[in-house]
Structure 1
Amino acid sequence: MQDQTVSILHRATFTTSAARLDQLPPPTTAEVCFVGRSNSGKSSAINVLTNQRRLAFSSKTPGRTRLINMFGIPDPLDPAGHLGFLVDLPGYGYASIAREAKEEWAEVLGEYLRQRESLAGVVLLIDIRRGVTELDRRLAHWIAPSGRPVLALLTKADKLPYGQRMNAVFAVKKALAELGTLHAIPFSATHRIGLEETAQFIENWISPKVVP
């Protein structure tokens, strides 16, 4: 039998893009956002979790993806409605972008993370080889006051042996302890490491009544 949790994510389709919060649709149903440094593997994670090759796009130039992209998961009981949304937020940490633009995008990120009423959970992507950076800590400061649960995906986990992966999980939890409700999972889109566990977290945030 097909895993019901994963199959729900597989139905995700592109819904809208927005440069500002006031361009987003009204906050009506649960949203799970993906956020992380540029080139942390956000697009790859979204694509493998939804079992689609090019649902989310990554730019070859870090920092060029400036839009908030929303992917809706259709409600099988309401053809016009959605069970929830996956939200791809702009990457951060792009050194080549002008300071003014950086601050503008940081403001958009911060406002979404603090103010979006329908935000049910945050997926924070961290390159397992780099660990928690100062920019990741800054992002944690934005998220912490909201009390939203956070799932840290330690991407590119296939680059490290199992023991080092577990050490990395411990280090991330310690570095981001201020977040409170934090889970960390070693993840690899190419090797499908942590895929099922991650999908279950996201599904439970979007539709807690659906039992995997």
Structure 2
Amino acid sequence: MSILHQTKFFVSAAKLNQLPDASVPEVCFVGRSNVGKSSAINILANQKKLAFSSKTPGRTRLINMFGIPNPDSPEHAMGFLVDLPGYGYASVAQNTREEWADVLGAYLRDRRSLAGIVLLIDIRRGVTELDRRLAEWIAPSGIPTLVLLTKADKLPYGQRMRAVFAVTKDLQKIGALKVIPFSATNRIGIDETAEQIINWIQPKAE
């Protein structure tokens, strides 16, 4: 069984100072509102309701952390999956959007235990201006980034591969970048994604 299947809810936080000490690897999920972050976390953890998936875009305003238990010490986490607030939903008040951006940016910039970033992009929309700005924020950090092209089941295989090429080219300024088609509905890209995340949480010995 994958270690991700043992993931449990740990804490919700509105501010960075409410998060636990940055002592174990964290993998964060980030993307536009309603792009499928919660669905991705749920399918990777093999649980239906681990992460809250709102039908109203922009509803998730908290940093939600999910702990992966340490088999040698189950009461402690060996790592965390972190669901960050979505961005880019127009009906949310401007001051609230800016507040989220500050929290999101500060987490990506300052969280020293951040081992990897999972950026989710709707395969049918491609890279938006907000995605591009986020990529520019990530690039100087050198943090490895996995781009999941969600809703990949909506396109035939050939179009998926063209989308992978286009997004890879569009986000090439992120040095350590990998792009894969992903679908929680049709289980596309699940194993490859899980393998990458586990390697960030438990790096293989060189």
Of residues 77-86 and 126-135 in structure 1, the stretch that sits farther from structure 2 once superposed is 77-86
- The aligned runs of 1:1-212 (5 Å cut-off) are 2=1, 7-209=2-204
Q: Is the 8 A contact 1:38 1:91 kept in 2?
A: yes
Which residue type is aligned with residue 17 of structure 2? Answer: D
SS in 2 for 1:14: strand
The 2-side partners of 1:158 and 1:51 are apart by 19
Say which SS state the counterpart of residue 179 (structure 1) adopts: coil
Q: SS where residue 34 of structure 2 aligns?
A: coil
1:58 Cα deviation from its structure 2 partner: 1.6
Kindly indicate whether the alpha-carbon contact (under 8 Å) linking 1:66 and 1:90 is maintained by their aligned counterparts in 2: yes
Distance of 2:203 and 2:122 partners within structure 1: 29
Residue identity in the other structure for 2:171: L
Cα deviations by residue, 1:134-157 (Å, 9 ceiling, x for unpaired): 010111122111110000000000
Counterpart-to-counterpart distance in 2, 1:113 and 1:179? 14
Q: Residue type matched to 2:32 in 1?
A: R
Give the counterpart letter for 1:176 in structure 2.
L
The separation in 2 between residues aligned to 1:61 and 1:44, in whole angstroms, is 14
The percent identity for this pair of structures is: 73
Q: CA RMSD in A?
A: 1.0
The code of the aligned residue for 1:129 comes to R
TM-score of the aligned structures, taking structure 2 as reference length: 0.97
CA deviation string 1:97-133 (max 9, x = no partner): 1111111100100000011000000000000000000
Can you give the 5+ residue segments of structure 1 that lack an aligned partner in the other structure? none
The number of residue pairs the alignment matches comes to 205
